[in-house]
Amino acid sequence: MTRLLLVSALVWSGLIAMAQDRPTLPPNSISAGADGKFEAAPDTAVVDFNISVQDENSHTAYDRASQQAEQVRQILRANSIDPKTAQIGSFSLQPVYDYKTPKRKLAGYRVSASVSVKLKDFGKIPPILQALADASVSDTQSLGYTLEEMDSAKTKAVEDAYRRARQSAEAVAKASGRTLGELSYASVDTFENIPMIRPMGAQFKTMAASAPAPTEEFTPQTLNVTAHVNALFNLK
């Protein structure tokens, strides 16, 4: 009997704590929450890859890496893209050791830099990836899509969420014989899905060798922007 009373007391205290956590609504008001979404086509493609050169001499490795960076600029110019739009990171120099011998031996130096290219014209993706593969500038490339005009998409998702929240509140007000009044308070949260990243490496060379790379292979998926709105309305 004592144990049953103890369990009941714990349950009752938990319910009291939950009730205390809930915000107290003003009289003659109604609260409603809803999710909204907006599907937007990405407006920017992002091609990421690394320049990496290894040589026994550090100066030679740096010179070869600089030549590959210039190759990247030439590829962009050939596709009517301003090389200044490409983000080429600073070159990093790292020693490379041979661990096959009991005493590690300096085998050379590796110079590397990251490169990121943003494209607004998706039709230029296949020729640029093909040119990078032919020039052997990078063994691995990644292709992703993003939406830079995100603010407009978020606004539309919020509008959809608010419309749904108001419809729910209107339904409750109508069912109770009341009329929904003006908005008293609202909170908004927005979310966007992570852009898809597609690695493109040696398999791109194989695909390109058998047939020209079709543009549809690089068609972006629609990005979903979602929002959640909690709204408090007055009742008439």
Residue 5 lies in a domain: no
Share of the chain above pLDDT 90, in %: 52
- Alpha-carbon gap, residue 117 to 90, rounded angstroms: 15
Which pLDDT value is given to residue 3?
Answer: 45
Residues 91 and 182 placed together within one structural domain of the fold: no
Write the single-letter amino acid at 60: T
Residue 182 lies in a domain: yes
> For the domain that residue 62 is a member of, what is the CATH number?
3.30.70.2970
The per-residue pLDDT for range 201-214, each reduced to its tens digit, is 544 443 444 444 44
- Alpha-carbon gap, residue 130 to 198, rounded angstroms: 15
Residues 49 and 140 placed together within one structural domain of the fold: yes
Residues 140 and 167 placed together within one structural domain of the fold: no
Range of the domain at 210: 25-43+147-236
Which pLDDT value is given to residue 196?
Answer: 53
CB of 46 within 8 A of CB of 146?
yes
- Sheet with 180-192: list strands edge to edge: 29-40, 223-235, 180-192
The per-residue pLDDT for range 36-52, each reduced to its tens digit, is 999 988 889 999 999 99
Residue 111 lies in a domain: yes
Residue 15 lies in a domain: no
Which pLDDT value is given to residue 172?
Answer: 93
Residues 117 and 156 placed together within one structural domain of the fold: no
**Looking at the 3D structure of the chain, how many domains does it have?**
2
The yes-or-no verdict on residue 69 having pLDDT over 50 is: yes
Domain final position from 120, 144, 168? 144
Residues 192 and 167 placed together within one structural domain of the fold: yes
Cα–Cα distances in angstroms (integers) from residue 68 to residues 1, 154, 159, 170, in the given order: 82, 40, 48, 64
pLDDT interval class at 19 (50, 70, 90):
very low
Cα–Cα distances in angstroms (integers) from residue 174 to residues 30, 161, 171, in the given order: 12, 20, 5
Residues 225 and 215 placed together within one structural domain of the fold: yes
What radius of gyration do the chain's Cα atoms show?
29
pTM: 0.64
Residues 87 and 203 placed together within one structural domain of the fold: no
Domain final position from 125, 144, 163? 144
Give the H/E segment covering residue 174.
helix 150-175
Residues 108 and 169 placed together within one structural domain of the fold: no
3-state secondary structure of 26: coil
Residue 163 lies in a domain: yes
